[in-house]
Amino acid sequence: MQLIDGKALSNKVQANVATKVEQLKQEKNIVPGLAVILIGDDPASHAYVKMKAKACEKVGFYSITHSMPDTISQDEIIATIEMMNNNPRIDGILVQLPLPSHVDTDKILEVIDPKKDVDGFHAYNVGRLVTNLDTFVACTPLGVMKMFEAYDISLKGKDVCVVGASNIVGKPMASLLLNAEATVTITHIHTKDLKAHTSRADIIVVGVGVPKLITEEMVKEGAIVIDIGINRIEDGSLVGDVDFENVSSKCAYITPVPGGVGPMTIAMLLSNTLKSAKGRII
């Protein structure tokens, strides 16, 4: 069993981004800019946005956070996004999810300029991903693909089971895997027999937010397991969607939680924002 060290890989990606940012500053006088919209008082969202701001500072980005109360109107959010769409200093716009119930998330995401959609959630970018065209890809699935690449894990012809069909993780993950010529099964909350699908998979990618959903008997010997889930349980500790203690001994590769996929999400956000900033040159 080999651990896939997302933290070390993330640090490597961020160091590379920092080098390229410095080159961009010296050669083109361009400083990549990331703007975040944060609505409400959710502690997890605030912690995540703080981590993003710290990462931006580390690699030399300009960053700004628009913090808004959860009572803010949808029109006011849209007006803020449109202002950032027109701001030449901003290369990436990120709306921290989830949004309050009175806000139409799909409508909000559609307002973002696709060229600044560094989260890869806009329908334009999703469509380009599905058709295997160059685009902005959702950061977490993109981070998983970078892990496969870094550890020389071939996907061509592999049977991959994606557990979870969200627009943010499961669906883009499946599209990336298909583009890499894997054979992909997507399961979700209405799947009748999850074990029947996971137990025959060469690779399992799970991200549903259910602690220890994937157990030892659901994984075949020598499988590769990518655990995107992150859950805080009663004793305050963080665990994934995989029963790591019992599953890991069966795996060729497995990601830990924390320290696996999580750090790669922020690394890919920085990478996407740098990509957008380079688009200013064209």
Which residues are annotated as catalytic? 52, 96, 119
Q: How many of the other CB atoms lie within 10 Å of CB of 70? A: 13
φ/ψ of 252, rounded to 5, equals: -75, -45
Residue 201 CA to residue 218 CA, distance in Å, equals 10
φ/ψ of 93, rounded to 5, equals: -125, 130
Residue 131 CA to residue 195 CA, distance in Å, equals 30
Q: Which H helix or E strand runs over 28?
A: helix 6-28
Residues making up the chain, counted from first to last:
282
From the number of C-beta atoms within 10 Å of its C-beta (0-12, 13-18, 19+), residue 249 rates as exposed
Residue 244 CA to residue 262 CA, distance in Å, equals 16
End-to-end CA distance of the chain: 45
By the 8 A CB rule, do 39 and 74 touch? no
Q: What share of the chain is helix, strand, coil (3-state, %, to 5)?
A: 45, 15, 40
